[in-house]
Structure 1
Amino acid sequence: MVFRVFLLSLFLFIVELYAFQALKTLIKLKWVLTAYQILSAIALVFIVYSFTQFDRSIGQTKQTMFTMGMLLVIYVPKIILCLIMLGEDIFRIGSGSARYFINNENFEFLNSRRKFVSQIGLGLAAIPFASLIYGITVGKYNYKVIKQRIYFPDLPEEFDGFKITQISDVHSGSFDNPEKISYAIDLVNEQDSDMILFTGDIVNTHAKEMYPWIETFNKIKEHKYGKYAVLGNHDYGEYVTWATEADKEANFKAIKSLYGQIGFQLMLNEHTYIEKGKDKLALIGVENWGHNFKKAGDINKAAAGVNQEDFKILMSHDPSHWDYEIKNHEKHFHLTLAGHTHGMQFGIEIPGYFKWSLAQYIYAQWAGLYENLGRYVYVNRGFGFHAYPGRVGIMPEITVIELKKGDNVA
């Protein structure tokens, strides 16, 4: 821990040196530069100190989220600025070396820093700075209703036009604005879907995080064909150190109970049939299965007794489950609903044209709809937020999926 804090401090110190060089190139007022150095030193000491105070027996708190937000807001722009200034230094050293070998005479090896480079660096750094501030103040509650129509040639006739609302990754321990959460619940109810599915992560770690929000989430209206849920990786309480195994188990039991307290039927490696008129479809719910996270999900147990010809909807929190086990499974799961990635809560998205996030370098399926041989997975971008207390570009999502009978057209 001490060594990691030392490396973080050293890295941030180097970033600060380069950021100061850029400022010094543009600003000549000594008092402004002194004030900048003092404020930067205070911020650096606060961030390093806060990380040293992290208590693994408690886990994420409002304080740790504030610190993470502060770290990103201050240092992501400065890192960009640092890279610009480092690039200039590489050019200055290369230019000086060339002049030395060509001229072989006395001269100033390093040219002075160029003002316009610092101006470009500060201009580019201002973009993530403003974006991260926006993400914290506005973006984290900027809920989007995303509607997706999916066609299946073997969809039972009675389910043509059947609507499913999906929410995922609530992370109630991060919430700090009851009015915004109530607004989001109203949006959920406005969709007037046939069924609502919740694909896990009701809390960050502790069951008590959800207690202030139970009444609000109980306002999610009854849906004609039910309210179902599965567990996410955070619901197992595995990201903190527990005093005893009994404490951990009691918390896990309480978390499972939360889903029932807000009116959702929790599915633990099991299935049920949804009947509509003369037709039915199989709804399957597995516990968390992640390639890099807890593997409690058992698809074979959950789908035992489900017939090959049944139309199947699977709830599985982590989309890596679809990638590694589901998309080529012999039982042919038509549609899988997942979450987990949050789209990294940071990216660029122009609906229908372009989307990018660091999440795509970790997960093959990270936001939206994906298909393989007529089998689909939809990855919800998440209802809440975690670690970074904001969202930039990848907004919180309420998904409405309409099932349609017909050719495979996304």
Structure 2
Amino acid sequence: MNYKINTRCLYGNNTTSSKEHFGAISYPIYQTATFAHPSVGNSTGYDYTRAQNPTREQLEKILCSLEQGYDALAFSSGMAAITALMELFQPGDHIIAGNDLYGGTIRLFQSINMKNQISFDFIDTSKEDVEPYIRPQTKAIYIETPTNPMMNVTDIAKIATITKQHGILLIVDNTFLSPYFQNPLTLGADIVIHSGTKFIGGHNDTIAGFLVVNNAELSEQLHYITKTVGSGLAPFDCWLIIRGLKTLGIRMERQQENAFAIANWLLTHPRVKNVYYPGLPNHPGYEICKKQATGFGSMLTFQVDSPETALRILRSVKLIPFAESLGGVETLITYPMTQTHSDIPQDQREKTGITDTILRLSVGIEDVDDLIADLKQAFEE
């Protein structure tokens, strides 16, 4: 049966699992490293938790259902997921990547994958034509949409048409909108990435990552890689993410509502020079985001009038923590220059707009009047 998304956040496409586990409504945590074999040559379907575990499998089924994929794999972090993904490629391969990605992704590409002789072109996929960058060695295009932190929006279906023409993969990091608001596989992507730490988990209490794929070949390759490198998500963390997913829809709706209110308040503040939020009609990616997603999410970035103002806000917020990460129920404010993108060379950062006047907000579920009051006093402190 094709359940609607809020139902699938709880069960995936399987509502019979509690009957298989003594009626347990909360899916059991199979906190075991290994499983006994009934006899030689026979298996329960589970042999060793590094390869697979029932709690992890349940989480993967739910995530796969939400992204409408063929299979999903759960990893110990978002970066572990991307690291495993990059093992699909060989020395000499070439990848086209967005130039405004999470700083940890760029660090992995530039310090690890380039060392392993994979080459990259970093371009603005929201504006530039990707086709001239494709060459015989090109194996994939890797994008975030919206991007971290400048909120650029790339047309997924348009890029997918090009990747299919050239027989290369389209990889989309969907962390910012989550599967609740955006499903890149239905738009033509081949692989979707999530930092499960963020909106999927939603409570800032565990770290996780996901890859969701659209075919059996990719599934088989990535399961082999995951088993080999040992980066699968542990059972207890899987259970925490399963629990977090149950409220994904409720959280995303409330967080988006709050983000709209804060974005519009920031637009009126004399010390704010720019607000980057794809839900604002003046955002360059507004129409594309509206076309390919069912919402705009709760991530927004804003530019203030001076580095002194930025530092004063970070020093003066009382309710909103100055912290890395995003997507949890708590609103967080981040200074990308010294946090998420600190390892990116300054000229590279500034080329994409990440300067010492840029702040990023991950908007939570608090009462929005309290959030705005906290920002207001921080500006004025």
TM-score, normalisation: structure 2 = 0.26
- Which one has the largest radius of gyration? 1
Q: Which has the higher helix share?
A: 1
RCO higher in 1 or 2 (8 Å CA, sep ≥ 6)? 1
